[in-house]
Structure 1
């Protein structure tokens, strides 16, 4: 059995075109600058109209698997009944419990669960586990469905409280129930699904993944699409919890393909979100960009402009990390245009700030100046007084670096007026003006 501890679980096209037309009014300022020869290219939604496919799934280094342990012997297993329990009726012959006996036992076991919960809430974890183990020993007399539900419930507490031995014995018992269920004909697949979900609760990755894969084959044979989606999502979650990025990517790629074949855009979006995060976390930036571009297409159909702008900024960051500044600049420009056209001023400002920082890092100060002038408009329209002051400061600093003293002084004076209103950084802007020979 594996060691089951994990440190981390871890709108329409027409409306879109209208938004693009609105954004073209803003873009005219860029065009005016372009006529002056500045190398800024503003691309509005060009990349949004294409449907890019995900790149081939990259090879990601696999993670080591926990080594199996020896099962706990029955005499040391607190879930094995080694002596009669007074809550069980005395049976003259070996027979199932009658309905009345089942009701009485079920009520008594519910009371044991309540007692254990009380001890647990009082901080008496060992005592609580002793009571819960007695409950679990007796739950098997009510059938595997009842037992698996209780094993999952107690197992979740044990895992959360880092009770390693308890997690081991519960997982071992689940394996026994699984073996018994698989040996029966016909196979109780509902019970096996409960067991797989219990493995997931206990973070028993190897057992959970193996059983989910078996259940996936059965769901495919039955053409049960909803269950296939459920299983693939669970496989993705389990692998992510263990930082198994190849396994997680495989599950979500299969979920994405299934959702696409069914026209299920909600599931497509969720799978692409997960794939984007997986590829980011594993430093696979090109596949992450491909997943994000496909998300852009789906968001465009749903008029989710804020999400598109945020994605375009993320894509820009990734292009920058890949050493492709021109593609990063284009993504930031698109993010600004989309956000501005839908009056998402915070996203518009973020995109422009990223673009300005990029141009400064490339020592393209005239281009950065154009961006800051646009950022100034955005800050003013958003009534962001402090942001307006800071933008005037940046404009002043760039003019100063370019040797444009008069323009720098004027920008610092504008910032000083706001600083005086806010009673903030007054001396700083006064000093900037004086250093440039202004009054």
Structure 2
């Protein structure tokens, strides 16, 4: 009886194992099919016999055969464009994929040029899968030429340019890195600056200001070492913009000071006030973490105002004064702010800036209110109201301020 029970139990266990194994095998097959459906083979990498290649020795194509094949592939490209215009995008890319497979026969450069054209179309048509196919093919080409240790600059440049067309800056930069490395080996400084400029613009086009700044700093160093004043000025201006956009105040200050040195040495002082204003603004940002730097902000705003006044740039001088008033006010230095506002009124009057004059009286009135000097505040707001009526702007604001002072002092 015991043996019989053991036999029955053994059969049950065996059946369960066989059933489970069968399920596992079925699941594995289904999973494999599912993976194939999810990740179909790259149509650009598969080998499919093509009637255009019949009777051709692909390793020894004559010039006439190459021209004939190239013409046929151009016709395929136009056929795909027509199909796309007729609304059949799937059919169009099937034709393009055939073209791209055949372009390989003509060499890497013709293939990459075609990959770039079709990739750009795929990107514009939002065909992500097609872009992935092209990206993978380009990566295969990149592995191949890297393995061959190719120093063909035309090849690497073409690869970088093609990656750009499919909007893949990271991969484009890996290709341009190879170009940069080779031109540096050749000690071709002009070519080095050219490729760095391409890389810098690529970083900026994707708003990567940190890496962009690093590249432009290299260009600045090269231009400085060569004594190339035109390029040096250009790169300094670019870096000032990059540091500003990238919110890197310390870097911006260093570059802006270099720009001031350049303009001063050239006797071109007209740019100094705006540069001083920018330096002061950056010191204000740094002072948020290090209050000791606030004095640098004051100093540069004052220099901006003085230089602009000497150059009779009264509007720019007014900007410096407005910044100083705001800074004095933030530090509760109301007397200094009031004295500065008086100079501002004189400055904007010389600039014939009626709006600026109106706003200067507004600021002065509020500063007097803060000191509870109501008669002076009333006078400032009254002057502001006269200009507001002329401009037909903010009349109610000044009238309300005047009415409020009258009400509080009755």
Give the shorter-chain TM-score range.
Answer: 0.7 to 0.9
1:3-402 to 2 correspondence within 5 Å? 76-80=41-45, 82-86=47-51, 88=52, 90-117=54-81, 125-159=89-123, 162-182=126-146, 187-239=151-203, 247-276=211-240, 279=243, 284-301=248-265, 308-323=272-287, 324-402=293-371
- What runs of 5+ residues in structure 1 fail to find an aligned partner? 1-71
Distance 2:397 2:220 in 1: 54
Distance 2:123 2:273 in 1: 40
Give RMSD over aligned pairs. Answer: 3.7
The aligned counterpart of 1:413 is 382
Distance 1:95 1:416 in 2: 88
Residues 409-434 of structure 1, C-alpha deviation per residue, up to 9 Å, x if partnerless? 33222222222223344344334334
Distance 1:434 1:90 in 2: 95
Q: Is the 8 A contact 1:305 1:339 kept in 2?
A: no
Question: TM-score, normalising length from structure 2?
Answer: 0.74
Distance 1:381 1:119 in 2: 67
How far the C-alpha of 1:219 sits from its partner, in A, is 0.7
Q: Is the 8 A contact 2:58 2:105 kept in 1?
A: no
Distance 2:300 2:86 in 1: 55
Distance 1:169 1:110 in 2: 21
Q: Is the 8 A contact 2:122 2:130 kept in 1?
A: yes
Of structures 1 and 2, the one with the larger relative CO (CA 8 A, separation 6+) is 1
Q: Helix, strand or coil for the counterpart of 1:320? A: helix
Distance 1:130 1:218 in 2: 38
Say which is worse superposed, 236-245 or 210-219, in terms of deviation: 236-245
Q: Is the 8 A contact 1:89 1:101 kept in 2?
A: no
How far the C-alpha of 1:357 sits from its partner, in A, is 0.9
Change (3 A) 1:235 1:422: closer
How far the C-alpha of 1:370 sits from its partner, in A, is 2.9
Distance 1:130 1:426 in 2: 68
Q: Helix, strand or coil for the counterpart of 1:322? A: helix
Distance 1:197 1:85 in 2: 29
Distance 1:343 1:116 in 2: 64
Distance 2:87 2:344 in 1: 56
How far the C-alpha of 1:361 sits from its partner, in A, is 0.8
Change (3 A) 1:183 1:397: closer
The aligned counterpart of 1:27 is none
Change (3 A) 1:428 1:146: same
Which entry has the higher C-alpha Rg, 1 or 2? 2
Distance 2:41 2:207 in 1: 33
Change (3 A) 1:157 1:329: farther
The aligned counterpart of 2:7 is none
How far the C-alpha of 1:355 sits from its partner, in A, is 1.7
Change (3 A) 1:140 1:403: same
How far the C-alpha of 1:327 sits from its partner, in A, is 1.0
Distance 1:126 1:428 in 2: 63
Change (3 A) 1:111 1:302: farther
Q: Helix, strand or coil for the counterpart of 1:76? A: coil
Distance 2:348 2:90 in 1: 59
Residues 31-71 of structure 1, C-alpha deviation per residue, up to 9 Å, x if partnerless? xxxxxxxxxxxxxxxxxxxxxxxxxxxxxxxxxxxxxxxxx
How far the C-alpha of 1:73 sits from its partner, in A, is 12
Distance 2:298 2:89 in 1: 57
Q: Helix, strand or coil for the counterpart of 2:58? A: coil
How far the C-alpha of 1:274 sits from its partner, in A, is 5.0
Q: Helix, strand or coil for the counterpart of 2:328? A: helix
- What runs of 5+ residues in structure 2 fail to find an aligned partner? 1-36, 288-292
